[in-house]
């Protein structure tokens, strides 16, 4: 897990306009917001938003997007609100975090009453800013990398299927071949765990 200084140093290698105070503040804010939460593997929840920010920094994205990566689950999974995020980090970041939250809420509905192509279109339509999709893809990539820790097999299969049908094609549409390939490989390992050798 990257600490604050490592993340800031990494972003500084490609973004000389970075405001390190904002990134540091977002890191601390996320740490505090998620302090009592755990991941399925028993690790502190904060490892997830930090991993998402790390993936986004690998893509050399702007600091608002990296900040969103750190904060992307705060509105959905903690007591923090859109207003708090806006007050602390500005409207741009609050809107991005809110956009990621809305996509997560769409996922739940998709399982019940929406076909895949409709959901893909809906996700594209609700994402006024491409950076929302980039954060969501980084979020899904880290969740797929740690999917083995989810105890419920049906949930693992549902996430893998959703990733194969929705997120890998979205990554493809955005020209993100490396992320698409990894999402497909990870999904396939759950959907077809014992492939027959030809």
Mean pLDDT by 10 residues, the chain (198 residues): 94 93 96 96 96 97 97 96 97 95 77 65 77 95 97 94 92 94 97 72
Active site residue 76: yes
At CA 18, angle to CA 12 and CA 24, rounded to 5?
90
**pTM, full prediction:** 0.92
Question: Which of 40, 62, 77, 88 is flagged as catalytic?
Answer: 77
The pLDDT value recorded for residue 41 is 92
Quick check: 12 and 60 in contact, CB under 8 A? no
- Out of 40, 62, 76, 182, the active site residue is 76
Catalytic residue flag (residue 77): yes
Q: CA-to-CA distance for 193 and 26, rounded, in angstroms?
A: 39
Helices marked H in 127-198: 130-145, 153-162, 168-173, 177-191
pLDDT of residue 66: 97
- pLDDT of 114: 55
Give the per-residue pLDDT at 109.
65
Q: Which residues contact 122 (CB under 8 A, 6 or more apart)?
A: 106, 114
């Amino acid at each position: 897990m990257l600490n604050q200084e490592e993340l800031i140093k990494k972003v500084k290698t490609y973004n000389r306009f970075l405001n390190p105070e904002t990134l540091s503040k977002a890191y601390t804010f996320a740490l505090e917001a998620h302090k009592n939460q755990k991941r399925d593997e028993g690790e502190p929840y904060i490892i997830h938003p930090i991993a998402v920010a790390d993936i986004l920094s690998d893509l050399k994205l702007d600091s608002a997007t990296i900040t969103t990566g750190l904060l992307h689950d705060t509105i959905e999974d903690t007591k923090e609100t859109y207003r708090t995020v806006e007050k602390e980090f500005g409207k741009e970041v609050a809107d991005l975090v809110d956009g990621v939250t809305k996509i997560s809420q769409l996922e739940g509905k998709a399982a019940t009453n929406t076909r895949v192509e409709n959901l893909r279109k809906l996700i594209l339509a609700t994402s006024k800013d491409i950076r929302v999709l980039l954060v969501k893809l980084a979020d899904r990539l880290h969740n797929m990398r740690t999917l083995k820790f989810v105890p419920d097999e049906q949930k693992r299969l549902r996430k893998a299927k959703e990733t194969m049908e929705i997120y890998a094609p979205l990554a493809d549409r955005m020209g993100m071949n490396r992320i698409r390939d990894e999402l497909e490989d990870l999904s396939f390992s759950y959907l077809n765990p014992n492939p027959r050798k030809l």
